[in-house]
A and B are shown apart, each in its own frame.
Chain A
Amino acid sequence: MTGLTALKNAYLPESMRLIRRYPLIEGVHFFQVRAVDMTRALSLDYLPGQFMMVSIPGIGEAPFSISSTPSRPGLLEFGIRRVGRVTNAIFQLKENQIIGVRGPYGNGFPVEKIKGNDLIIVMGGLGAIPLRSLLLYALDNRDQFGNIYLLHGAKTPSEMLFREEFLNFRYRDDLTCLLTVDQDDTGKWPCYTGLVTRLFQQLTDIIPQKTYVAVCGPPVMYKFVVAELLKLNIPKHQILMTLERRMKCGVGKCGHCIIGGYIYTCVDGPIFTYWDVIHMKGLI
């Protein structure tokens, strides 16, 4: 060691402040976080689809998709469901507490390739969390994208993530916003009922070669959504999906997120194409 340069250790979390938190739906909360160092907060760049490792000292670390868009620098947003040890601890946090965060990690959505094309975003359940980043990014850079379609399915209105935000999108004229619930338990649901796949009937003038699709939702959703997309003749390498795996490092070393022996989800993913899924065994 030369001793001239400070040791760069990417495993050390950065201090970030929890600015605000509130429930999105039962069991899923929204967390707004900002680097304590303001210069860092404003310069922290990332891509839609990337993730960060959130640390709770004494409990551990876990990966979370970023739900905010890099086109609005300063705050990082996460939608987090309470499911295990680390998320339980995150749910104990109070506003203004300091937490440890490192990243961003992963490949992110290929936004440069998507630009100039139409974009269909298909989200189900918690899939809304990473895809909201891509959606807001595309809306914030509206002139660089063709038509934008949002297809979002939830079990019931009360289980729809970002419900109010997305309901308001129906009034925008630069976006086709199609929202559906499996069951309307309120009797007041103003949009569609039925599975998200039924919304594809509304997509009429799709030019397949000029269309990218981003899909994220519960495992059962992929098969049916992909079938619809293939019916529309969307090229397999233009169907993008984001995958989940166990992760300990985020930098392609610890091994847990490996797929098929050679894909590290944390580095080569978490965004894959449907072609990757066919081509590389074990993805879904």
Chain B
Amino acid sequence: MRAVKLRKQDLPAFLKCVQSFGELWGPVREKDRQVLKKTDDVNQIDLTTIRTSLPFKKLLFPPRFSMFHFSGNKYTTSLEHLPNRIIFGLHPCDIHALLIMDDFFTRSFDDPYYTERRKKTAIIGFSCIPDEKCFCHATKTDTVEEGFDLFLTDLDDFFLIWVGSSLGDDMTRECPKIIDEGILPEDLKKYVEWRKYRNSQFKMDIDLTSMPEIFDLSYDSVIWEEEGEKCLSCGACTIVCPTCPCYHVYDKIEMGKIEGERMRQWDSCLFKEYSMVAEGHNFRESRAERLKLRFTHKLQAFVGEYGKPACVGCGRCIETCPVDIDIATIVRRLRGEEVKV
């Protein structure tokens, strides 16, 4: 992989160069939160961000959008005018989530609403030092080799930039004056030390080995009842999860007209209506059933289908859950470890 260097003070200039390729989106601090936002002023970008409150998915399958317009029985869809976007600041966990979503939305069926947006989206990854809620080393998503156009590693006085695609290559060649091609032996040493330091900073550990079998054997466990008892069915964990793709579909119609939009909106498997069919029959009436579905899908089913769990260790659900239902605690309890609840 091609790698180049960028001096720290040149980052704003570099991002301005990048803006010639499309809208720049990056993490911006808003009061006590960090949000992924379109940033015309590159100085707004907050490089200290560990996790944006909502992940990148809001740009690739927005929380609510029109799938098509209908007028009588004419259906028209327009996906031609989507903007080119560059998402800056994705950490390795989110890039892994992006790869999972790429696979999910194209496997066996091409979802045009996702793929058309994805084709116009470039990714500039950014290194991070884990906080107490990060567990990407446990999900094996703490490093990336693909899924980005550029990836910046913060090595104190400069950024080491990995070039991951042809488009990324173009971006570095757009501003040749500030891009340094010469990687020196001491840079390599610095990188190795940085990796060692980062690896030492993980504070949480979750053992995810044998999860599929453990789920099979704990299908009727009381753990689900007990954790379900706490759950508020608010769906916040699914909203913030970078690998939760479920959606609801409904028609929006103008009063007195036979025209409108077929809308797609984020849904949550924790909502009571999620598995409800005609006449109110509900295949997952209890919160325990719904909570079990979420974890089974993430940690068992995905492993069988995609060879890896659909959890990237970003820590968003842990940070967000209002009643402290914690994936780490659930996994420990399923493994039979004593956990204070």
Interface residues of A (CB under 8 A from B): 1, 7-13, 15, 57-61, 83-84, 87, 98-100, 244-246, 248-249, 251-256, 258, 260-262, 267, 281
Contacts and interface: CB of A to CB of B under 8 A. Distances in A.
Contact of B300 (A9, A246, A261): A261
Mostly, the B contact residues are mixed
B246 A256 contact: yes
30 contacts: A9-B68, A9-B77, A11-B113, A57-B73, A57-B251, A57-B253, A57-B262, A58-B253, A59-B251, A98-B73, A99-B73, A244-B277, A245-B275, A246-B276, A248-B249, A249-B247, A252-B109, A254-B248, A254-B249, A254-B267, A255-B245, A255-B246, A255-B267, A258-B269, A260-B301, A261-B215, A261-B296, A261-B297, A262-B300, A262-B301
B278 A12 contact: no
Interface in B105-149: 105, 108-113, 116, 119
B305 interface: yes
Contacts of B105: 253
Interface string B208-250: 0000000100010000000000000000000000000111111
Contacts of B77: 7, 9, 11-12
B203 to A, nearest CB: 29
Interface in B59-111: 67-68, 70, 72-73, 75, 77, 79-80, 104-105, 108-111
A87 B278 contact: yes
B279 interface: yes
Of the candidates B104, B258, B283, B296, the one having the most CB atoms from chain A within 10 angstroms of its own CB is B283
A245 B293 contact: no
B278 A83 contact: yes
Interface string B270-311: 000011111100010000000001001100111011000000
A248 B246 CA distance: 10
Nearest to B110: A8
Mostly, the A contact residues are loop
Nearest to A98: B73
A58 B267 CA distance: 20
Contacts of B247: 248-249, 253-255
A244 B281 CA distance: 11
Nearest to A247: B277
A79 to B, nearest CB: 14
A258 B274 CA distance: 10
Given A100-B75, A248-B249, A84 B301 contact: no
Q: How large is the interface on B (under 10, 10 to 19, 20 to 34, 35 or more residues)?
A: 35 or more
A251 B247 CA distance: 12
B84 to A, nearest CB: 11
Of the candidates A61, A248, A258, the one having the most CB atoms from chain B within 10 angstroms of its own CB is A258
Nearest to A263: B301
A59 B110 CA distance: 25
A11 B264 CA distance: 11
A246 B277 contact: yes
B250 A252 contact: no
Interface string B161-191: 0000000000000000000000000000000
A250 B260 CA distance: 22
Contacts of A12: 68, 75, 77
B278 A254 contact: no
A100 B258 CA distance: 14
Contacts of A281: 219
Q: Which 8 A-B pairs give the minimum distances between C-beta atoms? A: A262-B301, A261-B296, A255-B246, A261-B301, A261-B297, A58-B253, A83-B278, A57-B70
Nearest to B277: A246
B275 to A, nearest CB: 6
A83 B246 CA distance: 25
Nearest to B70: A57
Nearest to A36: B73
Contact of B279 (A9, A10, A84): A84
A7 B73 contact: no
B278 A84 contact: yes
B258 A258 contact: no
Contacts of A98: 73
Of the candidates A1, A244, A251, the one having the most CB atoms from chain B within 10 angstroms of its own CB is A1
B303 to A, nearest CB: 9
B272 to A, nearest CB: 12
Given A11-B77, A57-B72, 4 more contacts: A1-B80, A61-B249, A245-B275, A253-B105
Given A9-B77, A251-B109, A262-B304, A58 B297 contact: no
B112 A13 contact: no
B239 to A, nearest CB: 14
